[in-house]
Amino acid sequence: MSKVFEFVKTLLVENMQIDESKINMDANIIEDLGADSLDIMDIVNDIEKEFNVTIPQDQYENLRTVGDVVNFVEDKLGK
């Protein structure tokens, strides 16, 4: 799995105590993993810092699954 996925997974496990086995590219962050809007902003904050990218606020609603987040960041990184 990609470095971005591993980082997002670590955030979800460490910050939110989400069971690692539930985390895959298709998992909906709010509905499947029990996050709320504050968690999403917190995760975005950490991702932006780690990968030196900016995720504009108007993109948040498109980031529903773990895969949405990973793909968005990887696109930004030009992979």
Cα atoms in the 13 Å half-sphere on the side-chain side of 25: 9
**Can residue 14 be called a binding residue for another protein (CB under 8 A)?**
yes
Which residues are CB-neighbours of 78 under 8 A, at least 6 positions away? Answer: none
Contacts with another protein, 22-61, as mask; x by CB under 8 A? ----------------x--xx--x--xx------------
Which one of 19, 36, 46, 68 is the catalytic residue?
Answer: 36
Interaction site with another protein (CB under 8 A): 14-17, 38, 41-42, 45, 48-49
